[in-house]
Structure 1
Amino acid sequence: MSPSPATLPSVRDLLATAVAAVGGTEREGQVAMVEAVDRAIRTGDHLAVQAGTGTGKSLAYLVPALRHAVETGRTVVVSTATIALQRQLVDRDLPRLADALKKELGRRPTFAILKGRRNYLCLHKLDGGVPDEPEDNALFDPFAVSAMGRAVTRLREWASDTETGDRDELVPGVNEQAWRQVSVSARECLGVTRCPVGEDCFAEKAKAEAGKADLVVTNHALLAINALQGIQVLPEHDVVVIDEAHDLVDRVTSAATAELTSSAIAAAARRSGRLIDQDIADRLAEAADGFAIMLDDLAVGRLDAMPTPMQGALAAVRDCAHNCITAIGSERKGEKNDLEGSTARKLALALLDEVHDTAVRLLSAFDAEVGKRHDVVWVTGDEGSMNPRPPSMKVAPLSVSGLLRERLFEQNTTILTSATLTLGGSFDALARQWGLPAKQSESARPEGAATEKAVPSDDSGPVWTGVDVGSPFDHPRSGILYVAKHLPPPGRDGLTPVFLEELRELVEAAGGRTLGLFSSMRAAKQATSELRDKLSVPVLCQGEDATGLLVRKFAEDEATCLFGTLSLWQGVDVPGPSLSLVVVDRIPFPRPDDPLASARQRAVEAYGGNGFLTVAATHAALLLAQGTGRLLRSTQDRGVVAILDSRLATARYGGFLRASLPPFWTTYDTEVARGALRRLASPAEKKPSEVE
């Protein structure tokens, strides 16, 4: 007989069942976390829970989430930042957990994965029902056209085999340009009732499955869209679990960022020209040319004021786009059976709305005084790169704290978790960015509002608790934090000879086995180039091959080193002897000319706060914590984290940064660090099973 909701086992009992079913062992931190999550769900208070690598945090939130869903009949949403974690949850953790808890819960709990519409194959577009505009460079590049043709052919073949149409299941994948030929955005979609293949639509099937599931796995981007648009993209739910919560603000900011390019305006004009008087469409094309000319005259970087000529160009784009939208008009009754016409109309309006709304947002961004603006505007350009793109103008929210408070925390019980949530020993730094009131310290007014949402006040707001359940790792015994206090502070002219010599000696002592985390690709390439001839071990550099393949090569050959930049700071999971040394070249502060970071820092200072600590140091602390966390990935791991930036030891903010790192044993003596690495590299130091 199935148990009733009132007699469901406790989360402690369910966790014990789940752990036994997967062949694991109960961990103190996991038990503490499962009880904290269960308490948050029952009380409705929000929870931030830091759970170190190896805690088993996925089970610790999935068990109470599934119990709640079965007990109440309400859906729980789990949001992740990365595809890798999504796949781990859906392909491994949830199937095993659902089987393990089937008897105790009275039925097998159900789960589904849901992404934005762009992530799914569009059968209507694949059948030629949705013409697409080619990229400008593809118009004249026969090689690009040929490569596109091959990719689309692959996609057509895959369409007959796939059951989900999910882009992430296509291996190997295709580039963004090719995928756009077979996918549509939510704005471009005809809708399930109008589309001739609506009943077979992959995106609609995924949405339907999610609507019936106990637990839905999604990503931070879709969670952000659900909040930004105020439209229920996700199924009705009352609990949200945000894994990889350290990345939430960046992902929501990215989703709320808009971009305007002359090519997008021109494409909108071309699409409109097929439906309306050509003169009206031509005026939008002329506005695109005017915008391009004005944009070429602007320097790359943040704009504190919109130049008058650009104001005129943007006003022309706004007005011409509006005229095109008006000329297309609403669909009349007799046109509803014209599928081709409806499709063309939908495509044109999707681009026109985007162009018009972005132009309006860019123009209104400067209406308020500098300290009271909601958005940051900047010009992009990468003329120095191998494949330069035309310049563009971007606009992003100064802060998303108001948005998150209103659309997330005030509507759902929210559990935020990650291995890295306490910075400087406190949850407050990230809590303020999320829109939660600071607990442990007084703070300046938060750094602005998103999309005109009121700036949260720290004296009231959602009730939340911060819990650090620790780590199964014995950090002081398993790892050494070596800070190269004797090195001169890093400069702007690349890596110095003394730095490269220090790095060489550390790598040699480790016998390879080194993950080099650099603040720029330029530095990673310089280190690779200058050390390859001086080292007897292989050195791989990010960009020389697919990152996943490089990480695999690094893991498979103990002597190999891997040097790279940002994605490696958070994306490398290599347990075992292949990784004994993590090197960080410099404290990863944001660039002084970073448009968003510099604007946020200035806004904090305008209200009397410490902009450097609130923005730059917090950014650096989060990345440092993530980077140094690459060292210990299992309880058997041992090694050294070497920070080759003396400011960590000498600067006033060094204490805040060090308090954000795992509690390794610390030394400033290079001989101590190299000695430890030599011992780890010696076969005598390995376990018997490792040297047989």
Structure 2
Amino acid sequence: MVPETTATTTPVAQVLAQAVSGLGGQQRDGQVQMATEVAEAMEEGRHLLVQAGTGTGKSLGYLVPAMLHDKRVVVATATLALQHQLVERDLPRLVEAVKDVPGIDTSYAVLKGRSNYACLHRIRAGVPDDQGMLVDVPMGSMAEKVLELRAWAEEETEQGGSGERDNAPRHTDREWRQVSVNHRECLGGTKCPFGAECFAELAREKAHRSHLIVTNHSLLAIDAIEDVPMIPDYDTVVIDEAHELTARVTQAATDELGANDVERAARRSMRWTADAESDPAGDLEDAAGQLAEAFEATGPGRIDQVSQQLSDALVVVRDSARAVLSAYPRESPGEGEADAGRTQAKGMVQEVFVNAERMAADSDRDVLWLGEARDRFPARLHVAPLQVWGPMRDKLLTDKTVIFTSATLMLGGDFGTVATTLGLKPTERIGHEIATTDAEDALPWKGIDVGSPFDYGQQSILYVARHLPQPGRDGLGQAQLDEICDLVDSLDGRTLGLFSSRRAAETAAEAVRAKLPHLTTLAQGDAQLPELAKQFVEDPHTCLFGTLSLWQGLDVPGDTCQLVIIDRIPFPRPDDPLMSARAKAADAEGRNGFMEVSATHAALLLAQGAGRLIRTTTDRGIVAVLDPRLETARYGRFLKASLPPMWSTTDPALVRQALARLGQARST
């Protein structure tokens, strides 16, 4: 039954009430506030930041106003898990709940990068070898899996499926590459003999017919910032998991180049450029050797000053790649089907050229670094943007209305820090109200915190082990290991350990196994993450220790997890080339590089890690931070203000008693 509404209730609140009722849920004040504010922002064309705590129901809080908006809306997520939840659960149920509402457009589509779809040409014609000839997948350990993927793709075609990687049988990255192509390798819908059936082309056609498009941060960045049209024209974008946006945009705008890339592109091009007067492919192959020598002379790490040898090598690669591209025979008008071998080989050279050109430019807007060679993987040169807030401001925020939402947007108790990283200026607003400024480049925005249904002060404790020594560079010391074992023992399991490195996680796991052999202690790497999470949930006397993917990607409500241990404040590594360059640039401009880069990075991760604890209104537990700097350092106040409002203590005895009570309550 739809709740009664008053004459002053907004249309979005009425539809939200019908949706919640249809889904069998309960109305939440924060969700209603969010939906109302999102609808107003869309109507007024004003940017909005919405912090919505876990349990608020923020998906409906933006999906309902998005469907009611009179123009196309894009929803961009950071993780495949949320994208899958929206498309497979939230949207179908919402469409069913509001299907009788007049005037609402419930059409939606999913749009991903081309390599996320199976390629029928590659499946039916074969994979190019190093000479560009199309051959079948060689027999071997992966042949059976590739055949399974091919059969699945053909079945998807027959049944009208999407051909998306997420729906495919379990596989590795290497296996998927045998049945997919990237945008440079694609023949194009008009030239491919299977263009009419192409999964990627069909997905784009559906997107053009839809009111709501669900995509990811990376594709949004390529479309809006890299000026590569990927998404049909839209009016508004909702960016969920917005705390991840800067990192995802950076990732999308990061390129890399290895000497082996250059060499392979040259060899693949030889049969297509053999008629050229010179030997451009041979010259490109020689350039690969010159680049490898420059790498050896450079050494790994950030490159603040490009050496003459490296600069010369990049210029030679760039110019040689340009010559190879010019030597490719032009396709005759009306030639018909494209040659896959030529298209894909030329795409490889094009990628080498573009990356070498960017790196050779040595722009002060980019950061350049050489990765370390490991085992069978040779060194690779990387380039990333020094900052992304400028391009986001210029190419996304000035053209579209953007709604940013996440459970973690207020760092240090305010929206200003995150707003700055996204391309919005704190001076463009006053408190939670829109700033009254006459500046021509002003982008007015509003920030709201709609709260959470959880009572963190009653449900959780933040324990900072102030008595422990400050973490050192050598990893966990004996004092930290003893503390971990004591905390785990007090609760008798049900512990999620979030560590700054794989080595720290493994060291802690070994210590707990030795001292508490009656418990099951799992470490990341012992098995695939879904398998580890399943075992963690099923056995209450279990500990799970791991690194970054557990900080953000694990959702285990209930008594499964009642203690979250964080070994140290997760500052970026001092030798991280991009983070260190950004901090250095901020200092050079008179700002505080440590607070702007390192502390902000740590605050986001701490908030995400602490957020693993309370997932429902009945959860209880403790977040234990073993780094005393959270209490003693000046920046500790900023970090603590970024966390959920838990009751805080530094008393080890009190915490052990609280854990023991939680353990006893679980066993009764």
The TM-score bracket by the shorter chain reads over 0.9
Task: Give the 3-state SS of the residue equivalent to 2:405 in structure 1.
Answer: strand
The yes-or-no answer on 1:547 pairing with 2:529 is yes
Q: Does 1:389 align with 2:390?
A: no
Q: Is the 8 A contact 2:428 2:444 kept in 1?
A: no
- 2:326 equivalent to 1:326: yes
Deviations 1:623-663 (A, max 9, x none): 00000010000000000000000000001110010010011
Deviation of 1:134 after TM superposition, in Å, equals 10
Contact 1:480 1:667 in 2 (8 A): yes
Helix, strand or coil: the match of 1:168? helix
Q: Does 2:548 correspond to 1:566?
A: yes
Verify: 1:152 aligned to 2:146, yes or no. Answer: yes
Structure 1 residues 64 and 108: CA distance shift in structure 2, 3 A:
closer
Identity of aligned residues (%): 50
Counterpart AA for 1:295: F
Moved more, 263-272 or 43-52: 263-272
In 2: Cα distance, 1:485 partner to 1:540 partner: 27
Matches within 5 A, 1:393-542: 393-439=381-427, 460-535=441-516, 536-542=518-524
Whole-Å separation in 2 of the counterparts to 1:417 and 1:291: 44
Match of 1:220 in 2: 217
Q: Which amino acid in 2 is paired with 1:47?
A: L
Equivalent-residue separation in structure 1 for 2:235 and 2:186 (angstroms): 28
Structure 2 counterpart SS, 1:105: coil
Match of 2:168 among 167, 170, 180: 170
Rounded to whole Å, the distance in 1 between the matches of 2:414 and 2:623 is 22
Q: Does the 8 Å contact 1:98/1:108 carry over to 2?
A: no
Matched, 1:84 2:75: no
For the Cα contact (< 8 Å) 1:517–1:583, is it kept in 2? Answer: yes
For residues 152 and 57 of structure 2, the distance between their equivalents in structure 1, rounded to whole angstroms, comes to: 36
Q: Secondary structure at the match of 2:426?
A: coil
Q: Distance in 1 between matches of 2:293 and 2:144?
A: 35
1:615-630 counterparts in 2 under 5 A?
615-630=597-612
Q: For each residue in 1:64-117, what CA deviation from the matched residue of structure 2 results, as whole angstroms up to 9, or x when unmatched?
A: 00111xxx2x22100000010001000000001001111113466111111000
Match of 2:93 among 84, 92, 96: 96
Higher alpha-carbon deviation: 98-107 or 256-265: 98-107
What is the alpha-carbon distance in structure 2 between the residues aligned to residue 458 and residue 522 of structure 1?
Answer: 51
Q: What residue in structure 2 maps to residue 139 of structure 1?
A: none
Structure 1 position 41, deviation (Å) = 0.7
The 3 A distance-change label for structure 1 pair 96 and 484 is same
Residues 263 and 601 (structure 1), Cα distance of their counterparts in 2 relative to 1, 3 Å cut: same
Consecutive unaligned residues of structure 1, counting only runs of 5 or more, are 1-6, 136-142, 367-372, 443-456
One of 646, 650, 655 as aligned partner of 2:632: 650
Shift of 1:333: 2.7
Question: More deviation in 640-649 or 426-435?
Answer: 426-435
Asked whether the equivalents of residues 47 and 416 of structure 1 are also in contact (C-alpha less than 8 Å), the reply is: yes
Tell me the alpha carbon deviations over residues 314-346 of structure 1, each in whole angstroms, 9 at most, x when there is no partner: 111111101100111532337x23x46x32332
Could you report, residue by residue, the CA deviation over 1:8-65 in whole angstroms, capped at 9, with x for unpaired residues? Answer: 9701111111111111111111111111101101111000000000000000000100
Note if contact 2:105-2:211 (Cα within 8 Å) is conserved in structure 1.
no
Q: Contact 1:9/1:104 (CA < 8 Å) preserved in 2?
A: no
Q: Residue 299 of structure 1: CA displacement?
A: 1.8
Q: State the partner residue of 1:45.
A: 46
Equivalence for 2:303? 303
Equivalence for 1:4:
none
- Find the counterpart in structure 2 of residue 670 from structure 1: 652
AA of the residue aligned to 2:497: G
Residue 621 of structure 1, CA deviation: 0.3
1:462 Cα shift? Answer: 1.2
CA contact (8 A) 1:34 1:60 kept: yes
- The residue correspondences of 1:350-389 to structure 2 (distance < 5 A) are 350-366=347-363, 373-383=364-374, 388-389=376-377
Structure 2 match to 1:597 = 579
- Partner in structure 2 of residue 346 of structure 1: 343
Structure 1 stretch 560-569 or stretch 21-30: which is displaced more? 21-30
What is the CA–CA distance in structure 2 between the aligned matches of 1:568 and 1:440, rounded to whole Å? 36
Q: 8 Å contact 2:373–2:379 — kept in the other structure?
A: yes
Q: Distance in 2 between matches of 1:475 and 1:400?
A: 34
State the Cα RMSD in Å: 2.2
The Cα shift of 1:310 comes to 1.2
Residue identity matched to 1:582: V
* TM-aligned CA deviation for residue 583 of structure 1: 0.3
Task: Please say if residues 374 and 397 of structure 1, whose CA atoms lie closer than 8 Å, have aligned partners that are also in contact.
Answer: yes
Q: Which amino acid aligns with 1:544?
A: D
* 1:449 aligned residue: none
Whether the 8 Å contact between 1:67 and 1:105 is mirrored in structure 2 is no
Whether 1:281 aligns to 2:275 is no
Would you say the 8 A contact 2:368–2:381 is kept in 1? yes
Q: Secondary structure of the equivalent of 2:298?
A: coil
- Matched length: 643
Match of 1:557 in 2: 539
Match of 1:61 in 2: 62
More displaced stretch, 398-407 vs 287-296? 287-296
- Aligned residue for 1:370? none
Does the residue aligned with 1:304 lie in a helix, a strand or coil?
coil
Matched-pair contact (CA < 8 Å) for 2:52–2:58: yes
Cα distance, 1:670 vs structure 2: 0.6
In structure 2, what is the Cα distance between the partners aligned to 1:670 and 1:320? Answer: 65
Query: Does structure 1 retain, via aligned residues, the 8 Å contact 2:321–2:349?
Result: yes
Between the aligned partners of 1:481 and 1:134, the Cα distance in structure 2 is 60
User: Moved runs in structure 1, 4+ residues, more than 3 A?
Assistant: 105-108, 132-135, 439-442, 457-460
Aligned counterpart in structure 2 of residue 267 of structure 1, from 252, 264, 267: 264
1:189 counterpart = 2:186: yes
Distance, in Å, in 1 between the alignment partners of 2:393 and 2:77 is 19
Q: Does the CA contact (< 8 Å) of 1:541 and 1:564 recur in 2?
A: yes
- Write the distance in 1 (CA, Å) between the matches of 2:183 and 2:442: 33
After superposition, the Cα gap between the structure-2 partners of 1:255 and 1:563, relative to the gap in structure 1 and judged at 3 Å, is: same
The residue type equivalent to 2:304 in the other structure is: D
| Contact in 2 for aligned 1:239/1:412 (Cα 8 Å) | yes
Contact 2:131 2:271 in 1 (8 A): no
* Whole-angstrom CA distance in 2 between matches of 1:325 and 1:650: 59
**Shift of residue 229, structure 1, vs aligned partner:** 3.1
Pair 1:21–1:256, CA change in 2 (3 A): same
Structure 1: which amino acid aligns with 2:312?
G
Distance 2:419 2:515 in 1: 46
Instruction: Check whether the contact 1:227–1:403 (CA below 8 A) recurs between aligned residues.
Output: no
Q: Secondary structure at the match of 1:165?
A: coil
Structure-2 separation of matches of 1:587 and 1:259? 30
Q: Secondary structure at the match of 1:104?
A: coil
Q: Which residue type is aligned with residue 299 of structure 2?
A: A
Structure 1 residue 461: Cα displacement: 2.5
Q: What SS does the corresponding residue of 2:446 show, helix, strand or coil?
A: strand
